[in-house]
Amino acid sequence: MHLSSPDSIWRLTLHGVACWQRGDDAPRPLERKHAALLAWLHLEGPTPRGRLAGLLWPDVPEDRARGNLRQRLLKLRSDAGALVQDDNGMLSIGPGVQVEPPDPPGAELLQNHSFDDCDSLARWLDGRREAERGRRKREWLAEVREAAQSQRLDDALYAADQLLQTDRESEEAYRVLMEVSYLRGDHAAALSAWDRCRDMLRQLYGVQPSAATRQLGDTILMAAQSAQATLAAWAPTPAATRALPVSVLRPPRLVGREIALQQLQAGWRAGHVLCVAGEAGLGKSRLLGDWATALGPCALAAARPGDAVQPYAALGRLVLAAADRFALPTDSADALQAARLLPRLASLAGATVAPVRTDHERSLALWALARWLGGVADRGGQALVLDDLQFADDASLAALQVLAEPAGARPLRFAFALRPDEAGAQAQALLEGLAAGGSFTRVDLAALSADDAQRLLDSLGLPALGAGAWSGPLWRQVGGNPAFLLESVKLLLSSDGAPGADGALPLPASIEAVIQRRIDLLSPQARHLVQLAAIAGSGYSIPLAASALACPPIALSAPLRELEQRQVFIGRQFVHDVIATVTARSVPQAVAEFMHRFVAEHLVQHGGDAAQVATHWQACGEWRLAGVSFRQAAQAARAAALANEHAALLDSAIAALEHDPVAGDLLFDLLHERANAFESQGHEAQRPAIIERLRGLARTEVQQLVVLNLHWGLQVNLGQPLPESQVHAAIDRALAVGEPDLAWQLSRALSWSMAMSNRAEVALALLTRHQGWIDNGADLATRAHYRLARSSIHAYGDRIDAAIAEGRQALAAFSAASDWPNALPAMSNLGVMHYWRGEYADACAVLTDARNRREALYGTGGAGVKIDIHLGAVLYELGRHDDARTMLQGAIAELQRMPPADYIRTDILLAENHLAQMAIALGQADAAAAALASSTDGLAERWVGRRMALRLRWQRCFGTVDAALVAALQGVVARLASPFNRVLMELELARLLAPAEALAACASLHDNPAVQVRPGLQLHCAALATQMARRAGDERAARHWAATAGTLIRHCQPFDMAGSELAQILGADQG
Distance CA 360, CA 341 (A): 12
Domain boundary among 200, 233, 266: 233
Give the Cα separation of 536 and 574 in Å (integer).
12
Is position 971 within any domain? no
pLDDT, mean over the chain: 84
DSSP 305-367: TTGGGSTTHHHHHHHHHHHHHHT--SSSHHHHHHTTT-HHHHHHHT---PPP-SHHHHHHHHH
Residue 350 lies inside a defined structural domain of this protein: yes
Q: Are residues 157 and 76 in the same domain?
A: no
**DSSP 3-state assignment of 22?**
strand
What does the pLDDT read at residue 988? 94
Cα radius of gyration (the chain): 35
pLDDT in tens, 594-640: 899 999 999 998 888 899 999 999 999 999 999 999 999 998 888 77
Is the domain of 34 the same as that of 144?
A: no
- In this prediction, residue 231 carries a pLDDT of 35
Positive or negative: CA dihedral 343, 348, 354, 357: negative
Phi-psi domain of 964 (left: phi exceeds 0; alpha: psi -120 through 50; beta: other): alpha
- CA 213, distance to chain mean position in Å, is 45
Strand ranges for 84-151 from DSSP E: 84-87, 90-93, 97-99
Going by C-alpha positions, the residue among 502, 293, 510, 301 that lies closest to residue 400 is 301
CA–CA separation, 374 and 481 (whole Å):
37
Q: Is the peptide bond before 104 cis (omega within 30 degrees of 0)?
A: yes
pLDDT for 860: 55
Closest Cα to residue 365, out of 341, 385, 346, 349?
341
Give pLDDT tens digits for 3-27: 334 445 788 889 888 888 887 777 8
**pLDDT over threshold 60, residue 1070:** no
Q: Are 307 and 314 in contact (CB under 8 A)?
A: yes
The answer to whether residues 312 and 370 belong to one domain is yes
Residues 214 and 284 occupy one common structural domain: no
Pairing label, strands 84-87, 97-99: unpaired
The pLDDT assigned to 555 comes to 82
Kindly report the CATH number assigned to the domain that includes residue 331.
3.40.50.300
Mark whether 434 and 373 lie in a shared domain.
Answer: yes
pTM of the predicted model as reported, rounded to 2 decimal places? 0.56
Please indicate, yes or no, whether residues 306 and 389 belong to a single structural domain of this protein: yes
Domain end, chosen from 744, 777, 810, is at: 777
- CA dist 808 and 801 (Å) reads 11
CB 803 within 8 Å of CB 794? yes
pLDDT of residue 927: 94
Query: If you ran DSSP here, which 8-state letter would residue 275 be given?
Result: E
Please tell me the total count of domains within the chain. 5
pLDDT reading at 444 higher than 70: yes
Angle between helices 995-1006 and 1035-1048 (to 10 degrees): 40
Closest CA to 791 of 840, 748, 734: 748
Residue 970 has pLDDT above 90, yes or no: yes
Return the pLDDT at 536.
92
Task: Report the range of poorest mean pLDDT among 138-142, 647-651, 883-887, 957-961.
Answer: 138-142
Assign 957 a pLDDT band (cuts: 50, 70, 90): very high
Kindly state whether residue 847 falls inside one of the protein's structural domains.
Answer: no
Mean pLDDT calculated for residue range 449-478 = 74
Question: 228 pLDDT exceeds 60?
Answer: no
- What order of strands is seen across the sheet that includes strand 47-48? 47-48, 90-93, 84-87
**pLDDT (average), residues 659-665:** 84
pLDDT of residue 237 exceeding 50: no
Determine, yes or no, domain membership for 986: no
Give yes or no: residues 401 and 281 share one domain.
yes
Is residue 104 domain-shared with residue 158, that is, in the same domain?
no
The Cα–Cα gap between 645 and 652 comes to 10
Cβ(302)–Cβ(276) below 8 Å: no
- Dist CA 189 CA 184 (whole Å): 10
354: pLDDT strictly greater than 60: yes
Q: Please, are residues 1059 and 1049 in contact by the beta-carbon 8 Å criterion?
A: no
Q: Is residue 248 part of a domain?
A: no
Please work out, in degrees rounded to the nearest 5, the angle formed at the alpha carbon of residue 531 by the alpha carbons of 528 and 533.
110
State the CATH number of the domain containing residue 39: 1.10.10
By percentage, how much of the chain surpasses pLDDT 90?
Answer: 32
Domain containing 98 equals: 6-113
| 299 and 323 belong to one structural domain | yes
CA distances from 145 to 228, 526, 555, 601, 965 (A): 23, 20, 13, 19, 83
Average of per-residue pLDDT across 237-249: 61
Give 8 or 128, the one with higher predicted confidence: 128
At residue 95, what are phi and psi to the nearest 5 degrees? Answer: -65, -20
CA distance 375 to 386: 18
Tell me what pLDDT residue 509 has: 58
pLDDT in tens, 509-537: 566 777 787 788 888 888 889 999 999 98
In this structure, the answer to whether residues 95 and 133 fall within a common structural domain is: no
- Highest-confidence range of 419-428, 830-839, 862-871, 1033-1042, by mean pLDDT? 1033-1042
The predicted pLDDT at position 236 comes to: 42
Residue 131, pLDDT > 50, answer yes
Q: Report the pLDDT value the prediction gives residue 235, as an integer from 0 to 100.
A: 42
Per-residue model confidence (pLDDT) at position 495: 66
Q: Which amino acid is at 422?
A: E
Would you state the pLDDT for residue 505?
A: 59
With beta carbons less than 8 A apart as the criterion, state whether 136 and 166 touch.
yes
State residue 972's pLDDT score: 93
Identify which of 637, 548, 777 has the alpha carbon closest to the alpha carbon of residue 309: 637
What mean pLDDT comes out for the span 211-229? 64
In a 10 Å sphere around its CB, with 0-12 CB exposed, 13-18 middle and 19+ buried, how is residue 790 labelled? Answer: buried
Specify whether 273 is located in the same domain as 167: no
Q: How confident is the model at residue 768 (pLDDT cuts 50, 70, 90)?
A: very high
Flag whether pLDDT at 241 surpasses 60: no
Q: Are strands 90-93 and 84-87 parallel, antiparallel or unpaired?
A: antiparallel
Q: Is residue 630 part of a domain?
A: no
Report DSSP letters for 845-902, one per residue. HHHHHHHHHHHHHH-SSSTTTHHHHHHHHHHHHTT-HHHHHHHHHHHHHHHHTSPP-H
pLDDT band for position 1017 (cuts 50, 70, 90): very high
> What band does 424 get if pLDDT is binned at 50, 70 and 90?
confident
Assess if residue 336 is contained within a domain. yes
How far from each other are the two terminal CA atoms of the chain, in whole angstroms?
70
Mean pLDDT of the 798-810 span: 89
Average pLDDT over residues 1002-1012: 92
Does residue 970 belong to any structural domain of this protein? no
Cα dihedral 28, 31, 34, 39 sign:
positive
Q: Above pLDDT 70, what percent of the chain?
A: 91
Mean pLDDT confidence for 141-146: 77
Judgement on whether residues 365 and 397 belong to the same structural domain of the protein:
yes
Among 777, 798, 819, the domain-final residue is: 777
Q: Which helix (H) or strand (E) holds 298?
A: strand 298-302
pLDDT higher at 304 or 9: 304
